Amino acid sequence: MRISRINQILENLASAALKAAPLATVFACFTLGSGNLFAEQLCAGGSVIRAGGSIVGCAFTTWGPAQQSMCNGDTVFSGPNSKNCHICVTAPYAAQVAANNFGGLDPSPAFDFHCLKCTPPPQGLTAWWTLDEPSGSASVQDFTGDVSNGVRYGATAVPGHDQALGADVQNANHFNGVNEYLEIPPDTQLDVGPGTAGGSGDFSIDAWVKIDPGTDASGVRVIAEKRTFNAPSQYKGYSFYLYNQYLGVQLADGGTAPGYSNYGAPSLVVAADGHWHFVAVSVAREPSEFNVQFTLDNTPNVNVSSPVRSGDLTNTSPFRIGMETIGDASVFNGSIDEVEFFSRALANSDLQSIYNAQCYGKCKH
């Protein structure tokens, strides 16, 4: 009864304080019995967090001495971006949040708890197609805003990876294996120049993919490609794909015949099991340290260091997701989500940070 009465008093104080102008930094602290069993702050400039009707903490998108003072005595949790994601909660909710459980916590105004657990995108992010657009939308947007919007050709929206776990990642795109794909207009930011000591010819691509049981995924199935062909035999560009469901990439620099090389990881097979899998290729093209690294989920990486292809991959083709750019074949048969292009060779630790984020995804703040 006494705790209920305290909460009623605090609710009244909070209501009154939120209407005050200017709003002072105020907090009330009640001691019951031998210890401090409930300390409450008026969350000026933030969100009041309730549990079962009781005020149990605050959430802030900015941080400074004033917010710290309002969280005095409580446990503070900060997200990957130290400037915009902080909550403080009283016991026993601190233990609950530490266990990655936000059940029963209701912030008002709304506050996205997911930002405490998302992972910052690795450096070098050039383009990020979240593929969250709903079915019926013809546009495909790069979340960074640096690459022009693309066009969806027939692909349909489906639930994104790990959505069943409470995902903040939203939709994905399903491709029918026949004629559906996404196309982004030619953009120099998606070109890859010759390999140099400074790493300017390096790049990485990652995505989440899903193949349903019984699906025909044989042959080449393109995840992402930007490649041209000029008769009789000159290929230029790159293609990240599955070949008989294992990871592969082609680098085509028009150099030593036949002008391209295919690199594969036969041990990294994307199973047709109806589950989402994280796939990536990281390409370091400095001639003396050439390396192609393939990643599937959290299994050991596969590295391929020859043959060396360090020539210019620049071409005038668009960038496609789900189909090759030198024709209308090699269409992906399954679902693709969260495609990213990086202008550097990502380390394994970068790729594992993306995989480990799971349904919390990469931070969009």
Q: Using one digit for the tens of pLDDT, what is the confidence trace for 306-334?
A: 999 999 999 999 999 999 999 999 999 99
Q: For 61-170, where are the E strands, in sequence order? A: 75-78, 86-89, 105-108, 125-129, 139-140, 150-153, 156-159
Domain boundary pick from 116, 139, 167: 116
Residues 258 and 285 in one domain: yes
Token couple for 110: 């709304």
Residues 171 and 265 in one domain: yes
Q: Using one digit for the tens of pLDDT, what is the confidence trace for 104-129?
A: 999 999 888 877 878 888 999 999 99
Domain boundary pick from 90, 116, 142: 116
Look at residue 200 and tell me if it is in a domain: yes
Domain count, the chain: 2
In the DSSP assignment, the letter for residue 244 is: T
Look at residue 83 and tell me if it is in a domain: yes
Residues 16 and 130 in one domain: no
Cis bond leading into 92, ω under 30°?
Answer: yes
Residues 292 and 186 in one domain: yes
CATH code for the domain of 142: 2.60.120.200
Token couple for 174: 């399903």
Look at residue 201 and tell me if it is in a domain: yes
Output phi, psi for 228, to 5 deg.
-120, 165
Look at residue 158 and tell me if it is in a domain: yes
280-284-287 Cα angle (round to 5): 150
Look at residue 246 and tell me if it is in a domain: yes
Residues 347 and 230 in one domain: yes
Look at residue 18 and tell me if it is in a domain: yes
Cis bond leading into 232, ω under 30°?
Answer: yes
Q: Using one digit for the tens of pLDDT, what is the confidence trace for 152-164?
A: 999 999 998 876 5
Q: Say yes or no to pLDDT of 17 above 80.
A: no
Cis bond leading into 107, ω under 30°?
Answer: no
Output phi, psi for 284, to 5 deg.
-105, 120
- Domain containing 205 equals 125-360
Domain boundary pick from 74, 92, 116: 116
Residues 238 and 310 in one domain: yes
Residues 347 and 221 in one domain: yes
Residues 109 and 257 in one domain: no
Q: Using one digit for the tens of pLDDT, what is the confidence trace for 19-34?
A: 332 322 233 322 222 2
Residues 249 and 327 in one domain: yes
Residues 157 and 246 in one domain: yes
Residues 66 and 147 in one domain: no
Residues 91 and 150 in one domain: no
What pLDDT does 16 receive?
Answer: 40
Look at residue 365 and tell me if it is in a domain: no
Look at residue 305 and tell me if it is in a domain: yes
Lowest mean pLDDT among 75-79, 114-118, 337-341: 114-118
What pLDDT does 365 receive?
Answer: 60
Residues 144, 126: Cα–Cα separation, whole Å: 7
Residues 288, 308: Cα–Cα separation, whole Å: 9
Which of 142 and 31 is assigned the larger pLDDT?
A: 142
Measured between its terminal Cα atoms, the distance across the chain in Å is 42
The sign one gets for the Cα dihedral 262, 263, 267, 270 is: negative
Query: What's the chain's average pLDDT?
Result: 85
